[in-house]
């Protein structure tokens, strides 16, 4: 029903141990879990690695998406360390929402000041509140953790882009259309962003490491 795709690259392999530790703890969904990397395999039980060579970021994601056989994809980056439980009931809730409202993508994210929402028409769905992201919003193709219709993901991703082009240029290409992108709110943010742009470890690392008994991050890039 769903595939967990983890976007990564060889140079961020120093994050993989901690990512899989927290994913094993918090991702309680029986499905394929696939890292999309370049030339290095992820040595962790229960995970596959899709090796797509050293091409552009979106080319590598597209290569993996072509091999996905499920109708839905949960996409996350390797530096988004999961800190809250995502179980089968949570995935089922999102898929039921997608089916009922013909959604293409449902984010698991607090409302963001970077995006525009139809604030006057939220949806109360099984006790959870969902907001439609307006079709003229920025970041319609955000890489925040989301349940995607796999075919929609394939439709909005294009060759020769880096992640920021996917989020920005990708949004520009679909802005104004009937995109049916939603955000279903949770009580807590589901991840901690381990790396800031530029490769520096985010502030608060020692607290996260202590809370979850993680390994020291040794950046060997």
Q: What is the mean pLDDT of residues 30-55?
A: 96
> How far from the centroid of its chain's Cα atoms is residue 100's Cα?
22
Residue with tokens 């490491």: 209
What is d(CA 1, CA 21) in angstroms, rounded to the nearest whole number?
A: 24
What is d(CA 84, CA 23) in angstroms, rounded to the nearest whole number?
A: 9
> How far from the centroid of its chain's Cα atoms is residue 105's Cα?
11
Kindly report the pTM of this predicted structure: 0.95
Residues shown for the chain? 221
Q: What local confidence, expressed as pLDDT, does residue 187 receive?
A: 87
Q: What local confidence, expressed as pLDDT, does residue 200 receive?
A: 87
Q: What is the mean pLDDT of residues 139-167?
A: 97
**DSSP per residue, 36-49:** EESSPPP--TT-EE
76 pLDDT higher than 80: yes
Q: What local confidence, expressed as pLDDT, does residue 220 receive?
A: 59
Closest of 149, 157, 152 to residue 173, by C-alpha: 157
Do 174 and 141 touch, CB atoms closer than 8 A?
A: yes
The percentage of the chain sitting over the pLDDT mark of 70, rounded to a whole number, equals: 99
74 pLDDT higher than 60: yes
Q: What local confidence, expressed as pLDDT, does residue 196 receive?
A: 83
Q: What is the mean pLDDT of residues 186-191?
A: 92
Average pLDDT of the chain?
95
Q: What is the mean pLDDT of residues 183-202?
A: 90
24 pLDDT higher than 60: yes
Ordered strands of the 181-184 beta sheet: 48-51, 33-37, 2-7, 72-77, 146-149, 105-107, 181-184, 128-132, 123-125
221 pLDDT higher than 70: no
219 pLDDT higher than 80: no
- pLDDT (tens digit per residue) in 112-133: 999 999 999 999 999 999 999 9
198 pLDDT higher than 80: no
């Amino acid at each position: 029903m769903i595939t967990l795709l983890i976007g990564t690259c060889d140079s961020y392999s120093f994050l993989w141990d901690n990512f899989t530790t927290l994913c094993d703890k918090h991702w309680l969904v029986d499905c394929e879990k696939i890292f999309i990397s370049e030339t290095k395999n992820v040595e962790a039980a229960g995970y596959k690695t899709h090796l797509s060579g050293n091409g552009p970021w979106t080319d590598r994601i597209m290569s993996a998406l072509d091999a996905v056989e499920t109708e839905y994809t949960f996409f996350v980056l390797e530096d988004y360390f999961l800190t809250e439980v995502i179980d089968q009931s949570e995935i089922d809730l999102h898929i039921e929402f997608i089916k009922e409202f013909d959604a293409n993508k449902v984010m698991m994210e607090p409302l963001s000041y970077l995006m525009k929402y139809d604030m006057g028409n939220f949806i109360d769905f099984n006790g959870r509140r969902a907001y439609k992201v307006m079709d003229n919003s920025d970041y319609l193709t955000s890489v925040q953790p989301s349940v995607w219709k796999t075919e929609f993901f394939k439709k909005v991703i294009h060759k020769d882009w880096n992640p920021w082009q996917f989020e920005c240029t990708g949004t520009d290409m679909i802005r104004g259309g009937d995109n049916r992108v939603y955000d279903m709110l949770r009580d807590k943010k589901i991840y901690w962003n381990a790396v800031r742009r530029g490769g520096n470890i985010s502030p608060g690392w020692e607290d996260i490491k202590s809370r979850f008994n993680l390994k020291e991050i040794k950046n060997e890039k």
